[in-house]
Amino acid sequence: MPEQHRLTDLLTHPPAWRRWPETQAIINALRNEGGAARFVGGCVRDALLDLATEDIDIATNLLPGAVMQGLERAGITALPTGLDHGTITAVLNKRHFEITTLRVDLVGHGRHADIAFTQDWERDAERRDFTFNALYLDPEGELVDPVGGLADLAAGHVRFIGNADDRIREDYLRVLRYFRFYARFGENNPDEHALHACAKAAGQLDQLSAERVQKELLLLLGTDNPGPALGLMSETGVLTVLLGGPADLSRLNSLLSLGAPSDALLRFAALLDGDKDRVLFLAGKLRFSNKQKERLATMCGKEVGADMPISACRTLLYKLGKAGFVDQTLLLWAALGPEVKLDIYLEEAKRWTAPPFPVTGGDLLKLGVGEGKRLGQLLQKMEQSWIASGFKRTKADLLQEFLPDA
């Protein structure tokens, strides 16, 4: 039997964000405009699980124009961030609230849907993705559960609202969201209807923007234990489509078993077997940032090897930096398996402080070395000699060796 999540009574234990003065000011602004408002989605779900959140979504029966008018009358900044879909962002004292008019989806396009506004709270719930994302909390603390999300949340059951195929056809990103939510909240009880629908839709994922796919993939990889969800993604063919080839689930699971901290980028590299060319190709395709790609290139460099002496570790710590060395060590350790102990590498990295190279370009200029290519090459040779000495050679030693006549 799956474990039951213990849910918080939000009437007697309201979430911290409900007590923010900004929250009350926004609710008052909507009510003063004649509308009803309820908190909805992730903030309610997470509050029931006693998880902290800063992302507060509010549903209202007011039309977007009335929402903006009510906020502005109350002196609250109103930004039309998603006006076509009925979403206004309220900004007060640096806090942001997403306020969306009740709506129904008319025609789904796989990436978005044409919508119409409604006054019907149940129809608004039915157009959402998963049952536990359609929980509403009114300002007085009463929970409204139109589609059975409370029981699913307690059981760790990730279930699409209504027909899973229909929900996915409205937005194919929901395939990836299913597995991400399963990684966060699932209790070893995957929904067969959901898995079948995700498998059927796997071939449509190329319709999604690279940015949306990247965000969902990294969020999933960043969960506490993404292994079971990724296993289901592999079984349904979704993971092969995303990665453009096979996934190395054994190396990823080995990484997760090490007991050492690992983040989404490191897990991404492990999933691709640390293959530098493949990792960087997919990172480019998914529009990773230059900083992310640089880190991936370093972690897949394979300079760190098994059974290295401490002197070699220190050389690589200097060359790769502490973070790059640790990334390579963990990726190697995942490949070798938990039984091969590389703790000594990580301990050395923890103690490591990079020593300053004792010679500068200014030193060489003062000794008559002209600016340009020769100066750079000379500095490089000196640094290599200094590293080879275990960082022990002094400035005098290096100048004596390379510029004896200066």
The answer to whether the predicted template modeling score (pTM) of the entire model surpasses 0.85 is: yes
User: Please, what are the domains in the chain?
Assistant: 1-157 (3.30.460.10), 161-243 (1.10.3090.10), 310-351 (no CATH), 361-402 (no CATH)
H, E, C per residue of the chain: CCCCCCCCCCCCCCCHHHHCHHHHHHHHHHHHCCCCEEEECHHHHHHHCCCCCCCEEEEECCCHHHHHHHHHHCCCEEEEEEHHHCEEEEEECCEEEEEEECEEEEEECCCCEEEEECCCHHHHHHCCCEHHHCCEECCCCCEECCCCHHHHHHHCCCCECCCHHHHHHHCCHHHHHHHHHHHHHCCCCCCHHHHHHHHHHHHHHHHCCHHHHHHHHHHHHCCCCCHHHHHHHHHHCHHHHHHCCCCCHHHHHHHHHCCCCCCHHHHHHHHCCCCHHHHHHHHHHCCCCHHHHHHHHHHCCCCCCCCCCHHHHHHHHHHHHHHHHHHHHHHHHHHHCCCCCCHHHHHHHHHCCCCCCCCCHHHHHHCCCCCCHHHHHHHHHHHHHHHHCCCCCCHHHHHHHHCCCC
Q: Would you write out the chain's pLDDT as a tens digit for each of its 406 residues?
A: 345 678 999 999 999 999 999 999 999 999 999 999 999 999 999 999 999 999 999 999 999 999 999 999 999 999 999 888 899 999 999 999 999 999 997 765 555 667 899 999 999 999 999 999 999 999 999 999 999 999 999 999 999 999 999 999 989 999 999 999 999 999 989 999 999 999 999 999 999 999 999 999 999 999 999 999 999 999 999 999 999 999 999 999 999 999 899 999 999 999 999 999 999 999 999 999 999 999 999 999 999 999 999 999 999 999 999 999 999 999 999 999 988 989 999 999 999 999 999 999 999 999 888 888 889 999 999 999 999 999 999 999 999 999 887 6
